[in-house]
Chains A and B, each alone.
Chain A
Amino acid sequence: MATTKETSRDRWDTIHKNGPFPLKLFLETKLEKKANLLAPIDRYNDAAIEIQRLLSEALDNNEGFRSIGSKWSMSSIAHHKDRMHFSAYMNLKFEISEDEMHSDSSFQRENVYLFQCGNQIKELSQYLENRGKSLKTTGASNGQTIAGCISTGVHGSAIDVGSVQDYVVGLNLITGPHPEDIVYLERHTKPALSDVLPTKMNAKIIRNDGLFNAALVGLGSFGFIHGVVIEAEDAFLLQRYVRKIKKETALKLAETLDFANSKFKIPTELDDNGKGKRPYHYKVFVNPYGKEKEYVIEAIYKKPYDPLYKAKYGDPIPFMKEFVYRDLIYLLVKISQRFPKAIPKFIKALNKTIMPEEKSGGVKKDIIGKLSEIFWDAGYQGRAFACSFGVDHRDARKALNVLTKLTRDEGPVPGIFAMRFVKKSEGLLAFTKFPYTCMVEIDGIQWKKSKKLMSLAEYATRMIEVLQENNIPFTIHWGKNANWEFPNLAEHMYGADIKQWKEYRSALLSEEMALVFSNGFIKKLGLSNFDVAAPEDLIASL
């Protein structure tokens, strides 16, 4: 049997120390040993029984239950005051056989995999690389679990790929303690698996686009995500360039994403007509206090896989560790940890700072590596905060101006802005909801309110207010800092989709289990309400 270690606790915290939050019981489940239960599917089903036992206990005690992965979210989305479950050791991996593929599937069997919830991005990348495959994108780092990524909408800046949830094609959820509470969801218009594997999982199969898209970014509240079916792709390489370009050029690119007609050109990344190729990834770094006329940008281009790339171009990992823009905020953290009272002065110094170009041994270095190498270990970087707003990329300049002006005029705030760009997600509550979403984000170090510095809570509130005052439609990254109690916030961001999401959730979960899977975070947002009149046909298999 899979076993769960139960520990009484009085508090819990995120990896970035955004809490602490109160807690009663911490649970950690480990799989049955291979030697005792050889077949992976038996170990998987055995774990499902254990999760159902834990859900039953929570239910019997009138307590809530929330599963966590790597606790990278800075908001309280992962927190529950009653029972928190650490799932990172539930990391089985499955290839899909021919008979397990749906006959109408448009996916290639070799690209489809089932991963248990606790698999972390780094181990998935390694597993896939050993098979000549790759994830399509990551959250620009590698420590999160796959279930955590999709529950909160983790994204990188892969313009035409999307977020992590956008290559998920199937979900195995455990919605309660009863046998019929194990379900397998996928889109009816894009089926992936035949009934063979879900039957082995003892899962009820529901093929339904609407339900699947609602559950996809489920905020940890659509049941326990036990398994995730993903579509991978053939291994590829990424070539990364960091350049300084004129602000106007960088912002025009942000608004248009028209790389073909931009003044920004990299000589080695032009098409046959001399036009700029469209990069896989585009990111703009913005020092809100700087007066320089250029922005640092990061452009990454996709290349065919070459097994000799390390011999030809060198090992990318030492360079990624060294380069400033991999995590510029690291420098801020280190300095501010040592001299917390110097934060205002340090920010002032940023006024004069001209962001240096990345160099290795004095030579400008463009890096080539696999996805997992370009976005390598992030590691712990101190007590951090991050606020991240999604806007239509056509509003990118306007949103950036509004937010940086706020930061200068009412701040300072110890952080640096960036803009990343992500294709629209089909997830009903995905914050990447615009055709192309520009994520305008500020990352920095936590600070204490003083005469010179407003609090993070005040800053987060003002960010929402100024975007509303300027009529810029926006979303907020579910895993980042924000004033989540801002009046009518969820409806403002998602409109009628909120009602629909709650209806799907109410149709899938029983009322008592909806309560178990609700936490303070979704209650604050008004997302936990149960709709007893939710139509049954919402969860019909189509």
Chain B
Amino acid sequence: MKAMKLCIALLLMCCLVSCYSVRLKVSNGQAEPQDNEREDALSGLYVRELDTIIKVKTTTDEYPINIRDCESGALHTVQIKNTLGGILLYVATFGSKRKVKVTYVCLKDPNL
């Protein structure tokens, strides 16, 4: 019984961390650069992350999430990561709690 519980716990953990991500990128804009030591597709870019749970109440609508830190006022890359845990949270709370994990890169201010 103990072993079974452990297996279920492990399975649940795997489900919660398992995820997929989708990356959107504009093709005709320059991303904000940064001197960093990343070794992935966003290497050399100024990457920001948003990892939160938003609560939607009957009286308030949380949409959209405002991004205030792009000086150019525009996004270059947005990577949305979804986890099974996030989906379960959404279902279990009837949509009132939504896990959001977004990685984004702003468009470089072209200084025109």
* Chain A contact residues, CB within 8 Å of chain B: 12-13, 15, 17, 26, 28, 31, 34, 40, 43, 68, 70-71, 86, 88-89, 91-93, 116, 120, 122-123, 126-127, 143, 317, 376, 379-380, 382-383
Are B35's CB and A123's CB within 8 A?
Answer: no
Nearest CB on B from A303, distance (A): 20
Query: CB of B21 within 8 A of chain A?
Result: no
Are A127 and B110 CB-contacts (below 8 A) given A15-B44, A70-B44, A380-B44?
yes
Are B30's CB and A123's CB within 8 A?
Answer: yes
Query: CB of B40 within 8 A of chain A?
Result: yes
Are B112's CB and A93's CB within 8 A?
Answer: yes
Count the A-B residue pairs with Cβ separation under 8 angstroms: how many? 58
Query: CB of B111 within 8 A of chain A?
Result: yes
A122 to B76, CA, bound (A): 13
Contacts of B110 in A (CB 8 A): 91, 93, 123, 126-127
One of A17, A71, A93 near B35 (C-beta < 8 A): A71
Count residues on chain B whose CB falls below 8 Å from chain A CBs.
Answer: 19
Are A126's CB and B111's CB within 8 A?
Answer: no
Nearest CB on A from B77, distance (A): 11
Are B28's CB and A382's CB within 8 A?
Answer: no
Are B111's CB and A382's CB within 8 A?
Answer: no
Query: CB of B41 within 8 A of chain A?
Result: yes
Contacts of B33 in A (CB 8 A): 70, 88-89, 120
Contacts of A12 in B (CB 8 A): 35
Contacts of A89 in B (CB 8 A): 33, 108-109
Q: Can you give 13 A-B contacts (C-beta < 8 A)? A: A31-B111, A40-B111, A43-B111, A88-B108, A93-B112, A116-B111, A123-B110, A126-B28, A126-B110, A127-B110, A317-B27, A380-B43, A383-B39
One of A17, A92, A376 near B39 (C-beta < 8 A): A17
Contacts of A116 in B (CB 8 A): 111
Among residues of A, the one whose C-beta sits closest to the C-beta of B29 is: A126
Query: CB of B61 within 8 A of chain A?
Result: no
Contacts of B44 in A (CB 8 A): 15, 70-71, 143, 380
Contacts of B39 in A (CB 8 A): 17, 380, 382-383
Query: CB of B69 within 8 A of chain A?
Result: no
